[in-house]
Amino acid sequence: MADINKLPVHVGIIMDGNGRWARLRGKERSEGHRQGAEVFREICTYAADLGIKYVTFYAFSTENWKRPQLEVSAIMNIFRTFLREAEERQQENEERGLRFRFIGDMSKIPGDIAERVKALEERTSDKTRTTVNLAVNYGGRAEIVKSVRRIAGMVKNGEIEPSDVDEKTIEEGLYTAGQPDADLIIRPSGEQRLSNFLLWQSAYAEFWYSDVLWPDFTKSDFDKALYAYSKRSRRFGAV
């Protein structure tokens, strides 16, 4: 196990490989997403038990709408199941101190899901042990555009001058405003790219890749990522 004093504060996880996992087993892609959701629950609670303060899971990107409608519908139903189970596990989640937040453009998400998302966020807003961010209809570029538009409006209204704009101004308009940048980005499935995930927040993140497909990802794999992180030397541009 990694040195507890060197655990990352904020971990980002790209949950990748669900479709390939299903194809290798001759199953529908939706079955891979369902199995991936089970792994999400396990890693989510494990990270909280370890004391990691922020965990951001990449659940559904702005580009994922391009997938077949049947697959998109199956993913939306998985979100419905998660939200229903979160209500049923309310006491357990409260005891763990879990705060749930959804980051992304929720305006395009089905109304019934958006309503339950809002209820879950409100119900857990006072929890402080671990914040779980679920990136849904999320894109890193779109997030930065959203912040820039906010700033443009402030300049137009005379609230600030262009010269007042700095990194903090941009960060205040991000979905993760008030949260620390990502320390560690984990991507299973053999791919080695960000795929439009936390582009601003991962400027100095450490990266850990694995060939394990997300539905096969275990707490042991998570431990390996944390151990690798604990051995990294983070200089943030210094010597």
**CA 145 remoteness from chain centre:** 19
The answer on pLDDT for 4 being more than 60 is yes
Quote the longest CA-to-CA distance of the chain.
Answer: 59
CA distance linking residue 89 with residue 158, whole number of Å: 47
- In which band, very low, low, confident or very high, does the pLDDT at 237 lie, cut at 50, 70 and 90? confident
The pLDDT value recorded for residue 79 is: 96
- In which band, very low, low, confident or very high, does the pLDDT at 13 lie, cut at 50, 70 and 90? very high
Angle at 22 between CA 21 and CA 26, to 5 degrees: 125
Q: What is the mean pLDDT of residues 119-132?
A: 96
Q: What are the pLDDT digits (tens) for 81-118?
A: 999 999 999 999 888 999 999 999 999 999 999 999 99
The pLDDT value recorded for residue 233 is: 84
**Per-residue b or e along 124-139, where b marks 16 or more CB atoms closer than 10 Å to that residue's CB:** beebeebbbbbbbbbb
Q: SS3 string of the chain?
A: CCCHHHCCCEEEEECCCHHHHHHHCCCCHHHHHHHHHHHHHHHHHHHHHHCCCEEEEEEEECCHHHCCHHHHHHHHHHHHHHHHHHHHCHHHHHHHCEEEEEECCHHHCCHHHHHHHHHHHHHCCCCCCEEEEEEEEECHHHHHHHHHHHHHHHHHCCCCCHHHCCHHHHHCCCCCCCCCCCCEEEECCCCCCCCCCCCCCCCCCEEEECCCCHHHCCHHHHHHHHHHHHCCCCCCCCC
Nearest 10 degrees: Cα torsion 222, 34, 20, 44: -10
Across the chain, mean pLDDT equals 95
Q: What are the pLDDT digits (tens) for 27-85?
A: 999 999 999 999 999 999 999 999 999 999 999 999 999 999 999 999 999 999 999 99
Catalogue the active-site residues. Answer: 16, 64
The pLDDT value recorded for residue 205 is: 97
The answer on pLDDT for 3 being more than 80 is no
Domains, the chain, in order of start with CATH, read: 4-230 (3.40.1180.10)
The pLDDT value recorded for residue 30 is: 94
The pLDDT value recorded for residue 158 is: 97
Q: What are the pLDDT digits (tens) for 202-236?
A: 999 999 999 999 999 999 999 999 999 999 988 87
Q: What is the mean pLDDT of residues 157-170?
A: 97
The pLDDT value recorded for residue 2 is: 56
Q: What is the mean pLDDT of residues 194-200?
A: 98
Q: What are the pLDDT digits (tens) for 128-156?
A: 999 999 999 999 999 999 999 999 999 99
The pLDDT value recorded for residue 1 is: 57
